Amino acid sequence: MSDGSSFYITTPIFYVNDVPHIGHAYTEVAADVLARWHRQAGDDTWFLTGTDEHGQKILRTATANGMSPKEWADKLVAESWQPLLNTIDISNDDFIRTTDERHEVNVQLFLQRLYDAGFIYTGEYEGYYCVGCEEYKQLSDLEDGTGQYEGQLVCKIHSKPVELLKERNYFFRMSDFTQPLLDLYESRPDFVQPESVRNEIVQFVKRGLTDLSISRQTFDWGIKVPWDETHVVYVWFDALLNYATAAGYGYDQEKFDRLWPATHIVGKDIARFHAVIWPAMLMAAGLEVPKQVYGHGWLLVGGEKMSKSKLTGIAPEQITDTFGSDAFRYYFMRAINFGQDGSFSWEDLSARYQAELANGFGNLASRVIAMVTRYHGGTVPAAVESALTDADRAIRATERRATKAADEAIERLAVHEAIARVWELVDELNGYITLQEPWVLAKDPSQADRLATVLNTAVHGLGTLTVLLSPVVPEAAAKLWTALSGTGSVQDQPIRSAWEWTGGARVEPLEALFPRIEVDAS
């Protein structure tokens, strides 16, 4: 197992029954910012994402589109899911598909080991099944349908009727792990976060766990149960194992030992699978449980969870085509407290783009580069010790304080808070320039030392910002790093000591990082 120096982070693997919307992209960006930060911190980082391609939902969608499930999955992955990663600038190290041989073979290996150890048995089950969730539901998870579904029980998440199924399946003895899971939650209070999700999980397990049906006979799109090929593996049991099979489980023990355990970033609606079923599976196999499961909130549009079926799904490119990938990444990480639900609106996106990115950070960068060019011929002046003031020292102190505070927030997965701490330096630098008035100093030859010190302080603060914001706005950071003649690549700069960055003797021209956008108000 990992010695603790690695940082293995995952998103859920997403169903390929439809194209991505901004809810999927939100999860991807959050995990990506965390991965980029840890890479820049020098941690052994591995970032996994991918697609979930088995199960009844995929089979039905493919059939409705006149394709085999594999043809449908191939099409969606190639045309939608992998292009999404480029659209929002995701730096994943691996992309796993549950139809990959490395996954299918080692799911069977894992299952066989549990069967041989006595954790799997045959039995009958009857219950309400939601195809959208690919899960049997308790009555508390259902509600009375309205409109066209009046008189039927519907899933609270999907608002669609559930099906009453009765099957003879293989079962996993999950009930054996009720107390071990409760002990886990108590001994590691941060295992499930945020607190609201943790409390819900603990209460669910305290009610007692039932054994889990882990195979299906009514359809054949899935991984075959190794000792009985008339059954396919339950899609969630199959899907959860992606985190292990991608990390080398069953075929690359050295890699698995280096990476495992993982930090899982998931939507709160699937936290139960990751914080209950998944650790129980791992315990049964004698493997270490995940490092952490973080169930973030939902993106809401018009007060409802993002959903293609409810026509509230917004494609990421609808935003990036106008505002760019950096603005997409910044907005969703800054505007929404990670871990809580958050509402998206075009008005808020446009306002934040203009106020925070264009006028705040972008204008700061343009002003500093322009002033060094105008007042010092493009050469970055050295600070003059005798001209230093408390205002200059305060900026240097803020560089260190913001770096430390942001890193501490990242350790708690509080991405929004990390950006807020960095933005304190943006605001302070803007205020510093306004108060120091370098345009006035430049007119007085006797203030040459003071002007040099102000410009040096501004450039240094801007470079620190560039390093700190690289995980969030990588495209803008790379452009600004070039303009500052930063040493090497900005992505290679040690982020936990961002204020120690070094650059060349001159600044280079800089195009607007966040150009003005005219948004059609009609």
Q: Enumerate the active-site residues.
A: 21, 24, 130, 133, 155, 158, 305, 308
Q: How far apart are CA 369 and CA 373, in angstroms?
A: 6
| Tokens standing for residue 63 | 């059939």
CA nearest 471: which of 406, 397, 520? 406
| Tokens standing for residue 204 | 């669910």
Angle between helices 22-40 and 325-335 (to 10 degrees): 90
CA nearest 174: which of 281, 270, 272, 97? 281
CA nearest 11: which of 30, 33, 38? 30
DSSP state of 447: G
Q: How far apart are CA 468 and CA 412, in angstroms?
A: 17
Q: Is 133 annotated as a binding residue?
A: yes
Q: Is 296 annotated as a binding residue?
A: no
Q: How far apart are CA 124 and CA 114, in angstroms?
A: 19
Q: Is 158 annotated as a binding residue?
A: yes
Phi, psi of 463 (to 5 degrees): -65, -40
Q: Is 130 annotated as a binding residue?
A: yes
Q: SS3 sequence, 122-135?
A: EEEEEEEEECCCCE
Q: Which strands sit side by side in the sheet containing 224-225, from one edge to the other?
A: 215-216, 228-233, 224-225
Q: How far apart are CA 132 and CA 57, in angstroms?
A: 6
Paired residues of 142 in beta bridges: 155
Q: Is 509 exposed, middle or buried (0-12, 13-18, 19+ CB in 10 A)?
A: exposed
Q: How far apart are CA 505 and CA 485, in angstroms?
A: 7
CA nearest 57: which of 15, 8, 87? 15
DSSP state of 458: H
Q: SS3 sequence, 414-434?
A: CHHHHHHHHHHHHHHHHHHHH
Phi, psi of 278 (to 5 degrees): -65, -50
- Residue/partner pairs of 388-394 with CB below 8 Å, 24 or more apart: 388/453, 389/453, 391/432, 391/435, 391/436, 392/453, 392/454, 392/457, 394/428, 394/432
Residue whose structure tokens are 């080398």:
248
Count Cα neighbours of 389 within 13 Å in the Cβ-side half-sphere: 10
Query: Buried b vs exposed e over 350-376: b needs ≥16 C-beta within 10 Å?
Result: bebbbebbbebbbebbbbbbebbbebb
Paired residues of 13 in beta bridges: 50
Give binding residues as ranges. 130, 133, 155, 158
Give binding residues for Zn(2+) as ranges. 130, 133, 155, 158
